[in-house]
Amino acid sequence: MATRSLPRRGAACSQSSKALGEAVKAGLMRTNPADEVRCPRVERKRRLNTWDEAEMDKFLRATCSDRLSPLWILLAKTGLRRGEALGLKWEEDIDLDAGSIYVQRSRHQVGYQVIEGPLKGGGGRHIDIGAGTVAALRSWKAKQNAERLEWGKEWKGEGHVFTRENGEPWHPNKVTESFCAAVKAAEVKRIRVHDLRHSHATLALKAGEHPRVVQERLGHKSITITMDVYSHCLPGMQKGLTQKLDSVVYGEAGS
């Protein structure tokens, strides 16, 4: 016998209101008691569109000679938001010797106008970066310094890490356009710039990184947010845990 699926809560509320409305039309009721009732919103979680290790590696290798390659590397290996990365400045935020960056401002757009200012809440966060990212930033800094000398008085730089040839910081929309073009040229699955952030978090959790560390890197106010957004990683994490426990705590081999 086939079973009928129950309607979603929001759909059930709407159907009940419609039924009561029909009763009013038929003269069975004077008013519809559901008219003043607000149906609850049904929130659907959007499945994250991310790259796996192979896709991430393929993209970074394919774009290694691009001007924005250091930016793609930083986004992929830190989980920074686009605006946070574009707001970075060498003197105030970057310590290559210590392998650390300080995120304290964002460069984003409202409409097409670019707004740069402190992060929401006014707080900043330190993020450790690996040797590969440090090397990419050192190489980029040397190239940027050469461009500064070449442009001379025409240089428009204000200390930003990621700039165009004349030192002018990137417009966020131009970065998005460049990323889309690079993804297409690299022949990898199409994702958004922001999905590099999701990919970083997903790969970190699947690799066994503690959610608290991922939360701090992403700048989430609560670990609850991190676990809710990346809950799809949990099944694999739990399987890994059971395998580890079986290997050390009277597992199948010892039974």
Write down the pLDDT at residue 253: 53
List per-residue pLDDT tens for the chain, 255 residues long: 444 444 444 555 556 666 666 666 767 667 777 676 666 554 445 678 999 999 999 999 999 999 999 999 999 999 999 999 999 999 999 999 999 999 999 999 999 899 999 998 778 999 999 999 999 999 999 999 999 999 999 999 999 999 999 999 999 999 999 999 999 999 999 999 999 999 999 999 988 889 999 999 999 999 999 988 988 776 666 666 566 667 777 655 554
pLDDT for 137: 98
Residues 113/148, Cβ–Cβ less than 8 Å: no
pLDDT number for residue 135: 97
Q: Would you say how long the chain is, in residues?
A: 255
Structure tokens at 1: 């016998």
